[in-house]
Amino acid sequence: AARFASMTNIDMNGIGSPDYGQRAAAQLEQDIKEGAIGVKAWKDFGMQQKDVNGKRVPVDDPRLDPVWDVCAKYKIPVMIHTADPKPLYDPMDKYNERWLELRLRPNRGEAGTGLTWEQVIGEQHSLFAKHPKTIFIAAHMGWLSHDLQKLGEMLDRMPNLNVEIAAILGELGRQPRTAKRFFIKYQDRILFGKDTYNISEYPFYFRLLESDDDWIDNIRKYHGLWKLYGLDLPDEVLKKVYYKNALRLFPKLSSAGFPR
């Protein structure tokens, strides 16, 4: 039991009703008192989530400010997944490097939905800036692993922001020198993450992060048909990414079993 901890979610029901902010904040505060060590905001937030009037709830909707204030009060990190990779919002044509994913999983395509990637991700960035005392962890590197310069500028500007690396090693492994410099510079702000617990997939992550191997196949072809290259990260950086940063951001986690 000491190896597991629970996060909670935000009660999105009733956004727009007069008592929503107070009610959702009170529920979150109770969850924290009962042991929740963090909050997970699912990717339907900002996409499909609707208020009581049937309108889309933006990621930076001020009606949720009381919830983020509770997170800041208790220093509870918010793991937030917003949108999907940018190519999934673009037409499926020969210029779209995710065409195979769109072909195999057409339900992931967002082109024609009326939402743009820039709009939804922009709302996420607005949320981070509006709540500088709330700790945020942007899932999937905020879908900015293809533009590490922009992501680095955000980290410089927003000390409350952290990122995790699930499902985006295909972006990092094709720019190994740039990615390695990024990991070294921001080694205190990056967490190891994964969408599913599948033991057979972990060696791929370890190989990309730890080795200097060349010409590696992506873990899933529809994540990218290009070859990847190992980042060969220093041991101290790896320790921070794998567990030290998590232990710092979530102090209630047990440190037993981890190397010092």
pLDDT at position 29 is 98
CA distance 251 to 247: 5
pLDDT digits (tens, 9 = 90+) for 69-103: 999 999 999 999 999 999 999 999 999 999 999 99
Residue with tokens 């985006």: 168
pLDDT at position 14 is 97
Indicate whether 28 pLDDT > 90: yes
pLDDT at position 34 is 97
pLDDT at position 1 is 64
Residue with tokens 């060349």: 214
Indicate whether 124 pLDDT > 90: yes
Confirm if 229 and 214 have CB atoms less than 8 A apart: yes
pLDDT digits (tens, 9 = 90+) for 201-249: 999 999 999 999 999 999 999 998 999 999 999 999 999 999 999 999 9
Helix or strand run (H / E) with residue 127? helix 117-130
pLDDT at position 196 is 92
| 17: three-class secondary structure by DSSP | strand
Token pair, residue 82, equals 């917003």
CA distance 88 to 106: 9
